[in-house]
């Protein structure tokens, strides 16, 4: 009840029909030509929305085209091998998106007869489909008037309507959803939602918005007050923790390299990597001993060839890349084996470990 009063207060004196008209006209004229805008196929819209989570349009385009080539339909993706799906996602990040997408697609094929649900509640139950993605799919693929509030929408509306709530909070996203429910076009919710996001991507950008080109300039409270770069307000996140590792490039007599598959949950789940020795609780002399205990192999450390720093959203890996060779023992570890370079190329590797590929001797 309080949030409703807040919505009413924020929209006091605002002209929604003028806003809708100008936004949609601008979008229809200025929208970018993008592969997922070729048609309204719910599967294509779905794949694009998952890929676009926390990921820029220019980054997604080649992945989207490749992915739709390999998995053209819901059924094709449902039947695909998970490793193949991860390989198609390699380098895109947030790999649980790929696994959740395939899980959800399989559910749609089995439980919904291969038809992406049109009911928001049903759609929202699917793995990886949250409040934003649900609204995006339902409005873009099915022309249903539901909010699709992402970072762009919160930035654009916080400026136009002068909202000073912290957009890092979940409750603020809900506030914007209520605002969009009042503003959204019932006639063309797809162009309205996409228009808000397109405006955020092309005009109402984070640092230096192009207000002189904005179709909504006349209605924008932030522009009127000259505070557009002060909005939105977002609390800052804390910085990443550094974790030191030794990355081992271990080759046997045949020149094959030791690789292992990461656990099926957590960071970089199910991707492949080179053995990493945690150094935070280990001095370098103890590495060989630790490695024998974990892998059953006696190794001899050779050259240290590089120092790789890889930044994640919540931590930083600092990896010393060391070459090594096997001098004895017997490999005894799950999800771990020697592969030649041809095999290695078929396995999905995180970018952090791709950086070490070039140091492998031929």
Partner DNA sequence: AATCCGGGGAT
Partner DNA sequence: ATCCCAGGATT
* Burial grade of 358 (CB within 10 A; 0-12, 13-18, 19 or more): exposed
Output the smallest distance, CB 242 to DNA, in A: 12
Residues 247-276 binding DNA (CB under 7 A) are 266-269
Instruction: Report the residue from 206, 255, 278, 328 that binds DNA according to the rule CB under 7 A.
Output: 206
Nearer to DNA, 192 or 291 (CB): 192
Output the smallest distance, CB 235 to DNA, in A: 8
Does 21 participate in catalysis according to the annotation? no
- Range in contact with DNA (rule: CB under 7 A) among 73-81, 105-113, 168-176, 283-291: 168-176
- Confirm or reject binding of residue 6 to DNA (CB under 7 A): no
Nearer to DNA, 2 or 207 (CB): 207
Output the smallest distance, CB 132 to DNA, in A: 4
- Confirm or reject binding of residue 236 to DNA (CB under 7 A): yes
- Confirm or reject binding of residue 96 to DNA (CB under 7 A): yes
Could you give the C-alpha distances from 163 to 6, 12, 159, 228, 254, in angstroms and in order?
Answer: 10, 12, 7, 11, 64
Q: For residue 211, say if its preceding peptide bond is cis, omega within 30 degrees of 0.
A: no
Longest dimension (CA), the chain: 79
Nearer to DNA, 87 or 127 (CB): 127
Residues 134-163 binding DNA (CB under 7 A) are 134, 136, 150-152, 155
Instruction: Report the residue from 171, 280, 361, 362 that binds DNA according to the rule CB under 7 A.
Output: 171
Instruction: Report the residue from 12, 69, 313, 361 that binds DNA according to the rule CB under 7 A.
Output: 313
- Confirm or reject binding of residue 198 to DNA (CB under 7 A): yes
- Confirm or reject binding of residue 234 to DNA (CB under 7 A): yes
Q: Which of 21, 30, 49, 90 is catalytic?
A: 49
Instruction: Report the residue from 239, 330, 342, 358 that binds DNA according to the rule CB under 7 A.
Output: 239
How wide is the angle at C-alpha 173 spanned by C-alphas 170 and 175, nearest 5°?
115
What positions carry a catalytic annotation?
49
Chain contacts with DNA (rule: CB under 7 A): 34, 48-49, 52-59, 91-96, 100, 127-134, 136, 150-152, 155, 169-171, 194, 197-198, 200-201, 205-208, 234, 236-239, 266-269, 310-315, 350-352
């Amino acid at each position: 009840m309080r949030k409703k009063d807040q919505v009413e207060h924020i929209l006091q004196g605002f002209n929604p029909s003028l806003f809708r008209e100008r936004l949609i006209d601008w979008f229809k004229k200025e929208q970018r030509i993008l592969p997922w805008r070729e048609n309204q196929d719910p599967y294509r819209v779905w794949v694009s929305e998952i890929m676009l989570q926390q990921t820029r349009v220019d980054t997604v385009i080649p992945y989207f085209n490749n992915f739709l080539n390999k998995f053209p339909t819901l059924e094709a993706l449902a039947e695909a091998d998970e490793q193949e799906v991860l390989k198609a996602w390699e380098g895109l990040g947030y790999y649980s998106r790929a696994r959740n997408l395939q899980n959800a697609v399989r559910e749609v094929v089995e439980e919904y007869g291969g038809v992406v649900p049109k009911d928001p509640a049903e759609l929202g139950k699917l793995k990886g489909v949250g409040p934003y993605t649900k609204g995006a799919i339902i409005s873009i693929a099915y022309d249903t008037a539901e909010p699709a509030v992402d970072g762009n929408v919160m930035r654009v509306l916080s400026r136009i309507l002068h909202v000073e709530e912290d957009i890092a909070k979940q409750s603020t996203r809900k506030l914007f959803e209520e605002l969009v429910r009042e503003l959204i076009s019932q006639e063309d919710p797809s162009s309205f939602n996409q228009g808000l996001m397109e405006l955020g991507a092309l005009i109402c950008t984070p640092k230096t918005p192009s207000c002189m080109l904005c179709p909504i300039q006349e209605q924008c409270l932030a522009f009127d007050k000259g505070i557009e770069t002060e909005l939105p307000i977002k609390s800052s996140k804390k910085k990443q923790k550094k974790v030191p590792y030794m990355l081992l490039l271990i080759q046997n007599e045949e020149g094959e390299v030791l690789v292992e598959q990461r656990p099926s949950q957590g960071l970089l789940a199910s991707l492949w990597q080179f053995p990493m020795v945690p150094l935070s609780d280990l001095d370098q002399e103890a590495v060989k001993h630790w490695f024998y205990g974990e892998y059953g192999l006696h190794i001899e450390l050779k050259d240290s060839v590089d120092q790789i720093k890889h930044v994640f959203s919540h931590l930083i890996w600092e990896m010393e890349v060391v070459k090594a060779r096997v001098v004895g023992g017997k490999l005894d570890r799950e999800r771990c084996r020697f592969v030649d370079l041809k095999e290695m190329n078929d396995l999905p590797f995180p970018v952090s470990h791709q950086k070490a590929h070039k140091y492998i001797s031929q």
